[in-house]
Structure 1
Amino acid sequence: MTANSEGGTPAPEITGRRILGLAVPALGVLAAEPLYLLFDIAVVGRLGALPLAGLAIGGLILAQVSTQLTFLSYGTTSRSARFHGADRHDDAVEEGAQATWLALAVGLVVLVAGQLLAVPVARLLGGDSDIAAEAVSWLRVALFGAPLILVGMAGNGWMRGVQDTVRPLRYVIAGLALSAVLCPMLVHGLLGAPRWELVGSAVANVAGQCVSAALFLLALIREGVPLRPRLEIIGAQLRLGRDLIARSLAFQACFLSAAAVASRFGAAAVAGHQVVLQLWNFVTLTLDSLAIAAQALVGAALGAADRRGATRLAWRVTAWSAVFAAVLALVFLAGRSVIPGLFTGDTEVLDQVGVAWWFFVAVMPVAGVVFALDGVLLGAGDAAFLRTATLASALLGFLPLIWLSLANDWGLAGIWTGLTVFIVFRMIAVVARTLSGRWAVTGADRQVRAHDESGG
């Protein structure tokens, strides 16, 4: 037990088992959707190149929308964790109820806007009219899952805030299991099911999303908290979301710019960049699970007015994340002559992979620090700082180097130098912020004052 730094009741020591108990199920939730998408691609891929291309374009459009709305999970975790740490469970869950109302409202806007814009956006991204037509046929059905996806994000958010990452994993797996059964049946007409081809994939996705969303809604109802919309709380969540959306847009600008510049260096450069980028996405997925644990635990500690415990926890999770990332770096370093060959046998592509590989390995331990402290600061509700730091790192570090790389024909070396500088700048920013202690403001009402002012 540790003494509460504000003179309250002692706070329990956070053990490594507790951190892993939150991180491992969170990793399962993060990994489940990408793994199902690989299965979906394999099923649709048997229809031929055109449906697969349509799935790629349609999936990209829907993914870009949902990526910008992750504040429904990360922002809700921060706010719910504060109340959980202050032993105000009903208030923590009510944050989830208001986030769910917000998810439904935003999801309906996405559904309507998506139906109106599906054709022009698909034509813009798909180029070829046949590919665009396939993408639109998939997207028009898949968009009905947008509100359901966002409800799942809100549910993940409040459950992480009350330090329950096991139920979200069960709910997500239940939905994806149904999708995995229906997908081959509806795409290929197996076991007497109708053969809907590409549209069958979208129907299977929405069916699974219905199951997951229903489970999250049922869990919320069973908590017995007030479910009526509270505009004061929703408004506060939107203000936090604004900062997180701006931060997410900075990430998207960097990675889309990298892909655009890589394409100017030829097909081998694009392919090599894509191979390393997918491996990078795998690494960030694992590191993000520790960041989620840090977010929930730090938010709760600050809500319990345990500033000292929150600070100690911040550095402990950071050390864990850095060591884990360093181990991953050693694994990828040892496998540099084997791992790329699992993705391609083309010698030109492998040469390009080799150029980016050293940057990818070298920056991994740095990323371990960045992801952990991102989670700490998100748990503290310090989203405005993270927004500014990310935008500044992109504008001052990444974007100048990426366009200089294009102008001077630096190839993937220039692109990955830009990505490396972007991550190093972010590390400097979050380490300085954590050392300053300005993020560690205690009390449940620091980020959620609107709740109490509205009668909560």
Structure 2
Amino acid sequence: MTQAPATPKAIRRRHDREIIALAVPAFGALVAEPLFVIVDSAIIGHLGTAQLAGLGVASALLMTAVSIFVFLAYATTAAVARRVGADDLPAAIRQGMDGIWLALILGAAVIAAVLPTAPFLVDLFGASDTAAPYATTYLRISALGIPAMLVVLAATGVLRGLQDTRTPLYVAIAGFIANAVLNAALVYGADLGIAGSAWGTVLAQCGMAAAYLVVVVRGAHRHGASLRPDAAGIRASAQAGVPLLVRTLSLRAILMIATAVAARLGDADIAAHQIILSLWSLLAFALDAIAIAGQAIIGRYLGANDTEGARQACRRMVEWGVAVGVVLGVLVVLSRPLFLPLFTSDASVTDAALPALVIVALSQPISGVVFTLDGVLMGAGDGPYLAWAMILTLAVFAPVALLIPTLGGGLTALWAALTLMMTVRLLTLWLRARSGRWLVTGATR
């Protein structure tokens, strides 16, 4: 007796279950990550203003270095998910190990670059004479944990590709708790000052990396996958990551230009911009969780040669992106009177922020689609297109943003330009999704 085909409603429900199962834990893990810096700031803030300023500079440098290599998670997720879809778990884990070895190599290179140049980098970021020694100390010690941070990125990509976002959530929570305890013990108990905070973070990151490696190594033993470094596999992982690196650098350039323009508008505008950017980043975590689900699900479907399943999953995730974007936009509008007083009592800052927040709220459905399609195309391994699309977006945004101080409009105009940037991304991603050229099937792309 043949089984009746699934109804559209049943298909949507199946996709909903998959999206929720992957996105909700992914969101929790994403939110846990910035809490490391918040804990460090809270503990070091009691040591003095100079120490806190030093942490601010060092953390900015570290987060920039680590975010550049976020492709270790994205590219690994897509590659592993394809192997899972092709029902080849040993090859999936082997693919993930290549990403982990690449992370270790890159981490060692970053240490070699940062340790001797730390004072120069701190000075380049404008640290004051009183804050610079603290920033240098924190940066040099924390740099020792960068290989562990990059291993965490790559291993997170392995587990996401294996359709597991719960384990990264548990590891992130454990890492956050360990970081808080170690920081307090080493800063105050051992009286190590800012150096104690840096060592506490390094130890917490190493513990997280070790936990991930235990999970991956067990999986490798269970499925008979080799753990040895493979030059060809590592080289392939690096090549797959280059387009995503270009995409990330272009996006960071956009955000840096926006901050530079806001600084030229005046103190009230840059202060309001930083508040809004913090909120925008928080909203991005919710949308990025859907994108992560997209990477894992789409990669699996294409690895299983199921283009129709990939199309249906893409369509449903876009609907989720729009819906979540609408909800976030409404929350932004409703929370404005409560949100702004948490950061400032300056009326000029509030006046600059209020109209810009309305633009942020209205743009959230656009952001929902952008994040979703970005994840879908990453899951398809369509990195070269994403790189060129982001370069085009940068080329459109930069001249518009740089003209704002001359033409006027203030912070509202700047966030309108950022909405234009997201709209350009929407158009480029939507055209690619509609073309179907991303639907390349097989265990490898």
| TM-score normalised over the length of structure 2 | 0.95
Q: Secondary structure at the match of 1:14?
A: helix
Q: Is the 8 A contact 1:2 1:12 kept in 2?
A: no
**1:414-429 alignment to 2 at 5 Å?**
414-429=413-428
Alignment-derived partner of residue 350 in structure 1:
350
SS in 1 for 2:265: coil
| Cross-structure match for 1:432 | 431
1:116 counterpart residue number: 116
Q: Quote how far apart the aligned CAs of 1:2 are.
A: 9.8
Question: 2:201 corresponds to which residue?
Answer: 205
State how many pairs are aligned. 435
- Equivalent-residue separation in structure 2 for 1:171 and 1:337 (angstroms): 36
2:211 to 197, 215, 224: 215
Identity between Structure 1 and Structure 2 (%): 38
Q: For residue 36 of structure 1, report the CA deviation from its aligned partner.
A: 2.7
Q: Which residue of 1 aligns with 2:288?
A: 288
**Counterpart Cα distance in 1 of 2:295 and 2:120:** 39
Contact 1:2-1:13 within 8 A present in 2 as well: no
Deviations 1:340-384 (A, max 9, x none): 122211101101111311211111110000000101000000011
User: Do structure 1's residue 84 and structure 2's residue 84 form an aligned pair?
Assistant: yes
SS at match of 1:381: coil
Counterparts in 2 of 1:8-407, with a 5 A limit? 14-189=14-189, 194-223=190-219, 224=221, 225-396=225-396, 398-407=397-406
**Aligned-partner Cα distance in 2 for 1:309–1:317:** 12
Q: How far apart are 1:337 and its partner, in Å?
A: 2.4
Whole-Å separation in 1 of the counterparts to 2:92 and 2:361: 40
2-side partners of 1:88 and 1:301: how far apart? 13
Runs of 4+ off more than 6 Å: 1-4
Distance 1:122 1:150, change over 3 A: same
Once residues 438 and 290 of structure 1 are traced to their aligned partners in structure 2, the CA distance between those partners, rounded to angstroms, is 22
Q: 1:344 and 1:162 mapped to 2: Cα distance?
A: 44
| CA deviation profile, 1:44-79 (whole Å, cap 9, x unmatched) | 111111100000000000100000000110000000
The RMSD of aligned alpha carbons is 1.6
The answer to whether the Cα contact below 8 Å between 1:14 and 1:313 also exists between their aligned partners in 2 is: no
Q: Distance in 1 between matches of 2:208 and 2:4?
A: 38
Name the TM-score, length of structure 1 as normaliser. 0.93
Paired residues of 1:54 and 1:134 also in contact (CA < 8 A): yes
| Other structure's SS at 1:22 match | helix
Q: Deviations over 1:366-419 (max 9, x none)?
A: 0000000101000000011111111101112x1111111022233212211211
Letter in 1 for 2:290: L
Aligned partners of 1:335, 1:220: CA distance in 2, in Å?
42
SS at match of 2:271: helix
1:234-279 deviations in Å (ceiling 9; x for gaps): 1111112110111011111111111111111211111100111100
Partner amino acid, structure 1, of 2:399: P
Contact 2:247 2:386 in 1 (8 A): yes
Change (3 A) 1:13 1:94: farther
Deviation at 1:95, TM superposition (A): 1.1
Unmatched segments (≥5 aa) in structure 1: 5-10, 447-456
Quick one: distance in 1 between partners of 2:350 and 2:213? Answer: 47
CA contact (8 A) 1:254 1:399 kept: yes
- Residue type at the aligned position of 1:412: L
- Matching residue's letter, 2:217: I
Aligned-partner Cα distance in 2 for 1:376–1:3: 25
1:3 shift after superposition: 7.7
* 2:152–2:212 Cα contact (<8 Å) kept: yes
Question: Which letter does structure 1 place at the counterpart of 2:36?
Answer: Y
